[in-house]
Amino acid sequence: MRLIFKIILSVFLLMHLGSLWAQKTANEQDLIERVIETIVEQEEENPDYTNLLEEITDLIQNPLNINIANASDLQKLYLLNQNQIDQLLKYREENGEIFSIYELQLISGFSMELVRNISPMLSFKPTFKPKAIKASQQMLLLRTEHNFEKELGYKTSNEKSKYLGDPWKYYTRFQHQSSKTGVSFGFTAENDKGEPFFKHKNPNGFDYYSAHIQKKSDGFFKQINLGDYQVKIGQGVSLWSGISSKKSSFTTQNARKYQGIKSYKSTDENRFFRGASIVLAPIKNINLAAFGSVKKIDANIKTDTISSFVSSIVNTGLHRNQNEFHKKDALEETAFGGYLLWNLKNTELGIAYLQYSFSPEINFDKKAYSYYNFAGKSNFNLNLNYQTQIDNIHLFGEIAQSKSGGIGILQGVNIQVHPQLNVESIYRKYDKNYHAHFSNAFSEQSRNQNEEGLYLGINFHPFPKWTIKAYYDQFKFPWLRYSSNAPNSGHEYFSQIEYTKNEKLSVYFRYKQENKSDNIDAEFINTPVEFEKTQYRLHLSAKPANNWEIRNRIEFSRYKQVKQKENGFLIYQDIIYKFTLIPLNVSLRYALFDTDSYDTRIYAYENDILYAYSVPAYYNKGSRFYFNLNYKISNKITLYARYAQTKYSDTESIGSGTSLIDGDTKSEIKVQLKFRF
């Protein structure tokens, strides 16, 4: 491993010593990568990132005019905390319009690295220049995906496990938006690979359908939603449907911003509401909302001598065979609630209530670790949340209670200690009997339950071109967990130093270490043993010429336990090229990886077609290659295509169960057409 490290590092440095003169970073891809990649590393499940990816992509395609943006608009940028937003608005009030991206570096708390990150999402148009806005816009996406190697599910003779469809995925989405009427509506339809399409148990075509209608106005009826929508309130302790960022390289941007109710356009079949909602503005600075939802979700059903009950909720959204169809829509979820939000000059206060019920009732297997988990037919959550700005101090927090009496608390503070130093601290405590089905707050685990922790993050700019980021998170679990047969504690440390020579070159080095306890197999009983996972990363982004970009990374992973020591590495080269004579963009990556097991896996975001994403876990030994292109056929039609292949050098099969592939290669193609009219 040491010899491999020296060889690869030498090649890496030799290849790019000559690139230090490069003049523009691949800002857009870096931004999307950092937001999504860091979320994936923290998630224990595999949520759908389409909504988040679309919001960032839309901001890049339709930049925010910084000279007319208010605080609410600036919160959509994700990367600005409240202190930075306040400093920007104060600077604009005192100095007038901002004419250049370089001027942002004069604002307290704005480093060159931050300016580089947000620059793709900003424009600097004069306020007196009217913006031409189309009365309405429509978009239609048609996408298909195909795996070339057939999984066991297509070939098995087991009728209950055999896939009922072909190895093609079909996706379509339509969106209409009118700036004149404030009305937007659309639908999404998806059919996963292996799911029947216009046959068997899907005679009406797609396996999953979603639709929404939204009307916005400035009057008493501020917003009305019909169909599928999401609700995001407070700090997510009780109500934040959909995904959200957790610990990441954005070390002092963890305070949630109010998003309220938004149309749902993604394909995750669980994390949304289906019904109707309304937001009223009865008096100035007051928002009053009510919403209701009824939908069915997948679940495992068991039957005893008395009745049927749900033993587990299924989040995959896959319905490829009879076994998976048996779980489809097995659980009915009914929810209703509302919130009141009061906006003052520097303070926001909110109260929210949510009640939901299940049919049949939920009764998870009562093992020791799940003794305090939710069981029954209904639950409710009541929360109080706030955020306020006092000079250079931003305070935010939420306290919530569930039907069980369990409490969830989050309290945070962000302080602009110095124009070049920002500090953030977050304390959270989620009781072992706190139950919040729609929560998604800052935490170590995927669920906000059975956890207490203290987080401290800093963002420091010692020199104009340098940024130092770090966080330390200490946490403990008062009760047992699925992977640990005893209460325990742990900690995580992260540090990153980044050099931004100018807006055209950026390089950073990252170190991350996590210590936690998980069970190991034993002869009589599994016992928790502490493990340590360490990661090192060196990443470079540059634009040596106007029409091409390079992005490079080398990363090492180390896993240590009492009886186990493992290592792994990943190295890749990205090239992004934009043709000058034809409307064609291409990007490609070649990656080599070698890890001793899944414990030393390394995640890496990949460029993909529009509104799609890929964040695979690289593990075992092999190589991966992908090639993307997008071609603008006309002003209204764009073609996107992608081919990706992974080849392993130390395995005879890939995957497990019905997803098993015989052989050492897995390859995939995606094709998409986008119509705008």
Q: Where are any strands of DSSP class E within 298-330?
A: 299-303, 308-313
Tell me how far apart the alpha carbons of residues 115 and 117 are, in angstroms, rounded to a whole number: 5
Quickly state the pLDDT bin for 621 (edges 50, 70, 90).
Answer: very high
In contact, 629 and 584? CB cutoff 8 Å: yes
Checking if the pLDDT of 630 tops 90, the result is yes
Q: Output the pLDDT for position 15.
A: 40
Q: Output the pLDDT for position 489.
A: 95
Quickly state the pLDDT bin for 26 (edges 50, 70, 90).
Answer: very low
Mean pLDDT over 154-159 rounds to: 93
Mean pLDDT over 578-589 rounds to: 93
- Residue 201's nearest CA partner among 327, 116, 94 is 327
For the chain, the domains span 134-178+183-201+640-677, 217-416
Q: Output the pLDDT for position 582.
A: 93
Q: Output the pLDDT for position 411.
A: 97
Quickly state the pLDDT bin for 4 (edges 50, 70, 90).
Answer: very low
Q: Where are any strands of DSSP class E within 233-270?
A: 260-263
Work out the number of other CB atoms within 10 angstroms of the CB of residue 523.
5
Q: Output the pLDDT for position 23.
A: 36
pLDDT digits (tens, 9 = 90+) for 275-299: 999 999 999 899 999 999 999 999 9
Work out the number of other CB atoms within 10 angstroms of the CB of residue 275.
17
The Cβ-side half-sphere exposure at 85, using a 13 Å CA radius, reads 23
Checking if the pLDDT of 664 tops 90, the result is yes
Tell me how far apart the alpha carbons of residues 548 and 206 are, in angstroms, rounded to a whole number: 39
Q: Output the pLDDT for position 16.
A: 41
Quickly state the pLDDT bin for 129 (edges 50, 70, 90).
Answer: low
Give the CATH number of domain 217-416; options: 1.10.1740, 2.40.160, 3.30.70, 1.20.120: 2.40.160
Q: Output the pLDDT for position 434.
A: 98
Quickly state the pLDDT bin for 60 (edges 50, 70, 90).
Answer: confident
Q: Output the pLDDT for position 226.
A: 98
Tell me how far apart the alpha carbons of residues 371 and 470 are, in angstroms, rounded to a whole number: 36
pLDDT digits (tens, 9 = 90+) for 527-571: 888 999 999 999 999 888 888 889 999 999 999 998 789 999 999
Q: Please report, rounded to a whole number, the percentage of residues in the chain having pLDDT higher than 90.
A: 61
The lowest-confidence range among 11-15, 253-257, 417-421, 442-446 is 11-15
Checking if the pLDDT of 13 tops 50, the result is no
Is pLDDT larger for residue 37 or for residue 518?
518
Is pLDDT larger for residue 6 or for residue 417?
417
DSSP state of 202: B
In contact, 501 and 534? CB cutoff 8 Å: no
pLDDT digits (tens, 9 = 90+) for 188-233: 999 999 999 999 889 989 999 999 999 999 889 999 999 999 999 9
Report the mean per-residue pLDDT for the chain: 88
Q: Output the pLDDT for position 48.
A: 63
Tell me how far apart the alpha carbons of residues 325 and 318 are, in angstroms, rounded to a whole number: 8
Q: Output the pLDDT for position 543.
A: 86
Q: Output the pLDDT for position 144.
A: 97
pLDDT digits (tens, 9 = 90+) for 307-327: 889 998 998 899 999 999 999
Checking if the pLDDT of 366 tops 60, the result is yes
In contact, 122 and 64? CB cutoff 8 Å: yes
